[in-house]
Each structure stands twice: as structure tokens, then as C-alpha cells.
Amino acid sequence: MAQHHAAGGAARGIYIGRTSLLEEDGETFWVYDCRAPISSLFYDHEQGPASFAIPDGVMEGELKLKPKP
């Protein structure tokens, strides 16, 4: 699990797995696929400033928690 704090938003836990797991509404993610852009927070960044690509540009924030492998 990584914890990402988007600029101007609340921190939230991000769980990364082999596949995505969504709520019944089809919009709320419980687990993100390890190939999803948001997963780069875990693979490409250490704690501190972090960003990942989204269709409209770049999502920037701060990686607050990253478990050690």
C-alpha cells in the first residue's frame, strides 16, 4: 500500500495488486492494477513529492507512506 496526498486533497491509501478491484458503482477502486499509471507512485518514487500521468496531464502530490519490500 502507498499513501498519496494530492495537492489540495486528503491523503488516501492506494492498494496495488495483479488486477483492479472496484466497488459495485464501477468508479471506486479498492485495488489498482499494477500496470495502471497510479501504480508508478509505488514503483518510481520514494516518500516525498510524487506525480503520475493522467489523461488530462499530470497528477501531483506527496507520497506519505511507502512500505519497504
- Residue pLDDT, tens place only, 2-45: 555 555 667 777 788 899 989 999 888 888 898 988 888 888 88
Q: Amino acid identity of 48? A: G
> Residue range 38-65: average pLDDT?
87
C-alpha cell recorded at residue 32 = 489498482
11-18: long-range contacts at Cβ-Cβ below 8 A with a sequence spacing of 24 or more? 11/64, 14/38, 14/41, 14/42, 16/42
> How many angstroms separate the CA atoms of 59 and 41, rounded?
10
Structural domain that includes position 21: 2-65
What pLDDT is attached to residue 28?
85
Number of domains in the chain: 1
> How many angstroms separate the CA atoms of 31 and 48, rounded?
22
What pLDDT is attached to residue 26?
86
